[in-house]
Amino acid sequence: MKTILILEDNEERIGAFQKAVAALGPDFELKIWREAPTMCAECEQYLSRAALISLTYGSYPKPFDNGLCAAKFLAEARPVCPVLVHSSETDRASLIENELKSANWIVERVHPGYYSERQLPNPLEQPAPRASLR
């Protein structure tokens, strides 16, 4: 079974993600984190079967609890799947995107309403991640 990992603090977007992943079929499971530190502490066990990762910068109340922190954590790992970055905060989304691209992850930016307007792309049809130079 392939796993889709998301960091999201917006309940409406989480619901849209759940519907989109369900439409992909029974071969996919969804793992959701609402806080970056928890995601960083737990997601390593899911990376070997990750088909897609989605990060938002988020509006978290604590410092070091945002999508950039998660991106820095992932940048230390070998790229294993594409990453979607979605945030209404363009400058902060760019920071996440640049962090991951500098570590050879395949990254695509989408606007926050992406999942409520269309189906999630099938991660198995995405290009394979580039090998890390690390």
Is 2 a domain residue?
Answer: no
Q: For residue 32, is it within any domain?
A: yes
| CA separation, residue 58 to residues 32, 45, 61, 106 (Å) | 14, 23, 9, 21
115 domain residue, yes or no:
yes
Please check whether residue 87 lies inside any domain of the structure: yes
Q: Judge if pTM exceeds 0.85.
A: no
For the stretch 85-99, pLDDT in tens is 987 778 888 999 999
Whether 82 maps to a domain, the answer reads yes
Residue 134 in any domain: the answer is no
Q: Which residue has the tokens 């050879």?
A: 104
HEC letters along 35-82: CHHHHHHHHHHHHHHEEEEEECCCCCCCCCCCHHHHHHHHHCCCCCCC
Nearest to 17 by CA among 118, 96, 129: 118
133 in any annotated domain? no
| pLDDT tens-place string over residues 9-29 | 888 888 888 988 998 899 999
pLDDT of 116: 47
The total number of structural domains in the chain stands at: 1
Q: What is the CATH number of the domain that holds 60?
A: 3.40.50.2300
For residue 17, the enclosing domain spans 8-125
67, part of any domain = yes
